Amino acid sequence: MGRARASTKETAEEALPPELARGLDDFLEALRVESGLAKNTLSAYRGDVSRFLRSARDAGVRRWRQVDTELVVAHLEELRARGAAEASVARALSALRMCMRHLLQENQLAADPLARLAGPRLRRSLPHVLDRLEVERLLAVPGSSWRALRDRALLEVLYACGARISEAVNLATTAIEPSLRVLVLRGKGGKTRVVPLGARARTALEQWLREGRPAVLRGRKSEAVFLSRSGRPFDRGSGWRVVKAAAARAELSGDVSPHWLRHSFASHLLEGGADLRAVQEMLGHASIATTEIYTHLDAEHVLSLHRLYHPRG
């Protein structure tokens, strides 16, 4: 099936006029080599730019220099007419902006046709966050079986490090510092970062590594920290199911996901007075603007305390 999808993608791109196809390939190769973006991100850029180029081709465009602002605006309006969310439209425009800037640097464009085009104003929704008592309930995995030890260690790592679920389930034993004080997480684009491990997470992880994991491996070799019953490395879906089961057991409301623990990690650090830049580093955000959304959560927390305790709140 994957091969069929790839074949379909190649057929669609081969149908593009040669100059447009070459420019697209050059742009994607530059992103891959220079930016180190993840495969999923590169695939999203390819899809967004390819859709525009097919629309441009149907309008008679054969060369990059024929692309103008009106053509891009018409494409974005077409996306909206097809029911695309405003966030999807903004992402498509962002991909086209990056592509045009690249082509301008490569002298394939005389001017950037999107230089004066404003993007849609998006209202950023605040992420879902658990309060401290809810986190405690979520992390309270009962029992001492190998499964309980594994699930408790995984949940503790997600909350203690603010790890993405893919970073946690792909954790290797070589990424654990011997004293269990820090973990080395491999994030988007293969970028690594070192994140401190708190005392409770350290205890849970140590117990899993010492008691639970050897019982699963039964003498076999594996570098994966988190394992399934058969001894295979955990995958993203398995990690999600651990979180979902814990949320159901804790009777938490809402569609709790692993990312809620990541959001809670950041929000609780800022509530406790952590530096925003330090939180950015621990989350692995490329831009501090991404991390700043948690300051709004912190402000909401302060306002709620004021309303609760101030005589004129």
Give the catalytic positions in this structure: 164, 188, 259, 262, 285, 294
- In angstroms, the Cα distances linking 26 to 23, 98, 189 are 5, 12, 19
- 182 DSSP assignment: E
Task: Report d(CA 199, CA 176) in Å as an integer.
Answer: 14
User: What is the three-class DSSP state of 313?
Assistant: coil
Q: Please name the residue ranges forming H helices in 59-145.
A: 69-81, 86-105, 132-139
How many helices and strands (H and E) does the chain possess? 15, 2
- 32 DSSP assignment: I
Decide: 269 and 279 in contact? Cβ < 8 Å.
yes
| Location of structure tokens 């879906």 | 237
Task: Report d(CA 154, CA 138) in Å as an integer.
Answer: 12
User: What is the C-alpha radius of gyration for the chain, rounded to an integer number of angstroms?
Assistant: 24
